[in-house]
Amino acid sequence: MPLENKELVNLYRTMLTIRRFEERVSKEFFDGNVRGYVHLYIGEEAIATGVCANLLLTDRIVSHHRGHGHCIAKGADIRLMMAEIFGKKTGYCKGKGGSMHIADFGVGMLGANGIVGAGLPIACGAATAAQLEGKNGVAAVFFGDGGVHEGEFHEAMNLASIWKLPLIFVCENNFYAVNTPSKYAIAIDEIYKRAAAYSMPGMVVDGNDVVAVHQAAREMVKQAREGGGPSFLEARTYRWHGHFESRMSTDSRPPEELAAWKKKCPVEAMERKLLAAGVLTEAQLKEMNSQILGRIEEAVKFAKDSPFPAPEDALEDVYST
Ligand SMILES: Cc1ncc(C[n+]2csc(CCOP(=O)(O)OP(=O)(O)O)c2C)c(N)n1
Ligand SMILES: [Mg+2]
């Protein structure tokens, strides 16, 4: 079933929000306002957007180190995100977690995660919870091509399959783990084929086409809600920035490869589609952009005006076993 115009506009708005948010995070990083590492999702926005648009507020997702897009697509508050990235007390983790630990249980975002592959078993837990609750809830887990050769990946795929968990595995294949090409690191030519080894449907999709991602995920979410068990979506894409923001570039990917992918920008592609179909006018696009920039400006102001956590709070909310 084709998407309604309102849904197309929402997909575009979410992608543009992620893009503008991260462009600003990058600027703030180089202005010296960001505490800790930030891994940007710029270029990959269609995946989080297309998948999460099929989820309800009560459904749960688990993210990874490049997690801002997943947070925004699931409905997290960009003010609290920005404050956390700035290391401020008003942030999601009271300024003690930074970019890689943002979570908002209230919107079903169970957390970014700095350990490659570590979100996968957590997602099995979330999907088990949904199964036990018996309300047709589902979970989705996002991970990179670098995650699929971690042991946890195979354990999670197997467990999800034998327990028929309502879980959608979303592999964001941007062809590199830092500078290691996936061709070198993964002992299979096409990642989605790994699904067959765990008796679950696997599919590959153009990860820069938000409508294609949405459609593929819709089928998988439907199957999971109806008790049909897990599925695996490989979405191919490319990151535009280095592995993380840094003054010292360590990016060894061929510049012509990046240039070719930039021509396939997911945000611009959707913009062209909306204009050609007469869904939005140039003026409406401009208005949406300035509304988003306004919200981001407000988030930055909130972050800048907020205090840092006090030194005496250092051990509060810290758990250890
Ligand atoms: C278990 C583990 N090994 C290594 C690292 C260091 N590391 C952080 S991100 C990363 C690459 C991840 O690549 P991928 O999963 O493809 O995600 P991408 O960065 O491409 O989005 C590595 C090796 C880590 N954080 N955790
Ligand atoms: Mg990768």
d(CA 242, CA 252): 9
Residue 132 has a pLDDT of 98
What are the E-state strand segments in 174-241? 176-177, 180-181, 202-206, 231-236
pLDDT tens digits for range 170-229: 999 999 999 999 999 999 989 999 999 999 999 999 999 999 999 999 999 999 999 999
What percent of the chain has pLDDT above 70?
100
Q: Looking at ligand 1, which atom is closest to the CA of residue 143?
A: 15
- CA nearest to 135, candidates 233, 224, 232: 224
d(CA 45, CA 11): 10
pLDDT tens digits for range 14-68: 999 999 999 999 999 999 999 899 999 999 999 999 999 999 999 999 999 999 9
From 38, 40, 42, 65, give the residue whose CB has the most ligand 1 atoms within 8 Å, as the site to mutate.
Answer: 65
What percent of the chain has pLDDT above 90?
95
CA of 277 relative to ligand 1 center, distance in Å = 39
Do the beta carbons of residue 170 and residue 138 sit within 8 Å?
Answer: no
pTM score: 0.98
Residue 16 has a pLDDT of 98
Do the beta carbons of residue 171 and residue 236 sit within 8 Å?
Answer: no
Residue 318 has a pLDDT of 82
Per-residue pLDDT at 320 exceeds 80? no
Residue 317 has a pLDDT of 86
Cα angle vertex 192, ends 191, 195, to 5°? 115
Is 302's C-beta closer than 6 angstroms to any atom of ligand 1? no
H/E element holding 68?
helix 68-74
CA of 237 relative to ligand 2 center, distance in Å = 9
Q: Which DSSP letter does residue 310 get?
A: P
Section 139-145 average pLDDT:
99
d(CA 191, CA 281): 39
Residue 177 has a pLDDT of 98
Q: Looking at ligand 1, which atom is closest to the CA of residue 173?
A: 16
Confidence of residue 321 (pLDDT cuts 50, 70, 90): low
Summary mean pLDDT of the chain: 97
Is 237's C-beta closer than 6 angstroms to any atom of ligand 1? no
Residue 35 has a pLDDT of 87
Residue 144's DSSP bridge partners are: 172
CA of 80 relative to ligand 1 center, distance in Å = 25
Is 174's C-beta closer than 6 angstroms to any atom of ligand 1? yes
Per-residue pLDDT at 249 exceeds 90? no
Q: Which DSSP letter does residue 164 get?
A: T
Residue 204's DSSP bridge partners are: 234
User: What is the phi/psi pair of residue 257, to 5°?
Assistant: -65, -45
Domains in the chain and their CATH numbers? 5-302 (3.40.50.970)
Do the beta carbons of residue 220 and residue 139 sit within 8 Å?
Answer: no
Query: Six-digit token pair at 120?
Result: 């996968």
- CA nearest to 20, candidates 272, 292, 300: 292
Section 248-268 average pLDDT:
95
pLDDT tens digits for range 282-309: 999 999 999 999 999 999 999 999 999 9
